[in-house]
């Protein structure tokens, strides 16, 4: 195995422009990876009556029960806290699910990778497509909550669309990087799973930012880019457009994540099949 790795190490690295073009062309081939994503969802929930709505029902039950309990513990106003908590959980589920599956995205598709010639990034888009389908089902919960609590909404709710695009770009880059590194080092996935559990507690999902006291606590909030990625979608959904600073940090996080992912893809995409 070491001799094989040594032989691979002396191969010339693929050029960055070629990798960028491959990522872009594959993304534009929307029908290809979207059909694969929808097929994955159908196979996952085959022979069930509700299909992916089961995941939505589970998430809705968790939001209702946990939101009621923690809303009482923190003394938060129910009509304000429940939409905040629900939007945070829905967006966090999309982020954490994508990052968790991103670690194993190439390992799970190893059979296809070894038998069918196709760009590796196709499997990342396929995985994100699956997560987006589940997210679309979960967003129905926000509609139901609005029918109950009736918070103020305006045309600014449309800002959730560019916010979701930023989150998707960040997840695409992170999943690409994690998938490549995890193909070589299988310990990455449990590490990421543990970190996501910790970050869930450190990110304003269960608790609201205004409950923080002191400068050190606020540094914990503003030093967490996941907060900004969540907020650029949650804020517009709640009728509270995020400040410019939040947008800038989210754009920076998405750009850095995508840059790292594409750079690793350019350098190691030819080696991934040998690592699987």
> Is 1 within the bounds of a domain?
no
Low-confidence ranges of the chain (pLDDT < 50): 1-13
> Is 236 within the bounds of a domain?
yes
Looking at residue 66, what is its pLDDT? 77
Task: Tally helices (H) and strands (E) across the chain.
Answer: 15, 0
Domain tally, the chain: 1
Looking at residue 76, what is its pLDDT? 63
> Is 204 within the bounds of a domain?
yes
pTM: 0.86
Q: Which of 248, 214, 206 is nearest to 228 (CA)?
A: 248
> Is 210 within the bounds of a domain?
yes
Domain that residue 253 falls in: 17-39+46-275
Yes or no: say if 86 and 145 are a contact pair by the CB < 8 Å rule: yes
Q: Kindly state the tokens that stand for 185.
A: 């080092």
> Is 209 within the bounds of a domain?
yes
Looking at residue 71, what is its pLDDT? 63
| Other Cβ atoms within 10 Å of 146 Cβ, number | 17
């Amino acid at each position: 195995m070491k001799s094989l790795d040594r032989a691979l190490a002396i191969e010339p690295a693929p050029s960055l422009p070629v990798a960028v073009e491959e990522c872009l062309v594959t993304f534009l081939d929307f029908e290809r990876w979207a059909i694969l994503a929808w097929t994955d969802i159908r196979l996952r929930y085959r022979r069930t009556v509700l299909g992916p709505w089961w995941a939505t029902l589970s998430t809705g039950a968790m939001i209702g029960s946990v939101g009621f309990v923690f809303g009482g513990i923190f003394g938060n106003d129910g009509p304000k806290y429940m939409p905040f908590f629900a939007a945070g959980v829905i967006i966090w589920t999309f982020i954490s699910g994508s990052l968790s599956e991103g670690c194993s995205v190439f390992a799970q598709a190893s059979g296809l990778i070894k038998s069918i010639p196709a760009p590796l990034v196709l499997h990342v888009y396929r995985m994100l497509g699956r997560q987006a389908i589940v997210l679309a089902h979960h967003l129905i919960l926000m509609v139901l909550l609005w029918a109950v609590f009736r918070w103020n909404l305006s045309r600014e709710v449309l800002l959730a669309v560019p916010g979701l695009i930023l989150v998707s770009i960040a997840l695409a880059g992170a999943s690409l990087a994690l998938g490549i590194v995890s193909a070589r080092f299988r310990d990455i996935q449990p590490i990421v799973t543990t970190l996501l559990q910790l970050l869930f507690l450190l990110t304003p999902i269960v608790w609201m930012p205004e409950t923080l006291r002191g400068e050190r606590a606020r540094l914990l909030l503003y030093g967490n880019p996941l907060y900004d990625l969540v907020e650029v979608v949650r804020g517009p959904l709640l009728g509270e457009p995020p400040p410019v600073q939040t947008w800038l940090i989210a754009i920076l996080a998405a750009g850095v994540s995508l840059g790292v992912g594409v750079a690793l893809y350019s350098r190691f995409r030819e080696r991934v099949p040998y690592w699987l």
